[in-house]
Amino acid sequence: MKLPNSLSKKLDILINKRDKVQDKYSVIKKDLDTLNDDINYLKELSDIKPQILYNQGRDKKYIYGQIYWYSDGYNSKKKSYRFLIGKMSDKKSRKYLSEESIRIFLTKVIPSI
């Protein structure tokens, strides 16, 4: 059964409106997802916990800080970043070494991403 002409016009108008709203929604949804990813990226950045690796190097006299972080933005695979943060003879506290590792990571890796 075919719809009357007035109803078919109304149906076409509603379908066109729905398509326009769907297009706007998809653009806004994409922007919202991007913003959520950026927010989560920065939230996780504030919760970094580096690993302190003692007795490293050929003569076992160096200390490295190692951090696992996203290689290509949020939701990508995590990659290991490793930095020299001192020598075994320096006798620095674990807290200092951890803070130093985070500082080096933030200055060297995060601006490049």
Question: Residue 63 domain-assigned?
Answer: yes
Q: Write down the pLDDT at residue 40.
A: 86
Question: Residue 2 domain-assigned?
Answer: no
3 state SS of 35: helix
Average pLDDT of every residue of the chain = 89
Structure tokens of 28?
């806004």
Do 96 and 107 fall into the same domain?
A: yes
Q: Which of 49, 64, 69 is nearest to 113 (CA)?
A: 69
Structural domain boundaries enclosing 78: 49-112
Number of domains in the chain: 2
Do 25 and 57 fall into the same domain?
A: no
Q: Residue 113: pLDDT band by 50, 70, 90 thresholds?
A: low
Do 64 and 101 fall into the same domain?
A: yes
